[in-house]
Structure 1
Amino acid sequence: MNSKKSSSSMASLASASLRNKNTSKIQKQLAASVLSQVNTSHQTGKAMETIASSVLNSEKYSNATKSFAGSVLAQSDKQR
């Protein structure tokens, strides 16, 4: 079990991303995952881990999207 949680600064960025109508679908998915892990013991699911990993391995995503992906992976199940 991973006890890491989203930081308040990352949660704030994720919230702003979700409110922005120009944010990409993938960034919104990652931002929602970040927000779901604030002050809870929720861990990243396998499907979201796959998405986040793909984002980090790609050149086409923004730094903000990659930051959300990194946060999501940091909160994943380390046994997988």
Structure 2
Amino acid sequence: MVVISTVLFSEREQNSVKDFSTNNCSKILSLCVSYITPVYVMKLKDFFPNKELREAPYFDGRVVCYPNMKTIRDYLAWRQLDCKLL
């Protein structure tokens, strides 16, 4: 079982709960993306009451192992800039 903030993920296997391992990273990511998409749609009006969605949102995700925190910060900064340019 993995606890991420207030979100609890576990996987059922027959009658027992199986711990997530590194082999299940893609499953965890799939669960996160599946959860985030409807919450985003439901909460959008709370933050942008005068905006309408022009098309259905969708989210993509990847499981990647980076060598250190600096590389992660640089990657996230690049992605944030990339989003602002679109």
TMscore range, shorter length = under 0.3
TM-score (norm 2): 0.24
Q: Looking at both structures, which has the greater relative contact order when contacts are Cα pairs under 8 Å and sequence separation is at least 6?
A: 1
Higher share in strand: 2
In terms of Rg, which structure is larger? Answer: 2
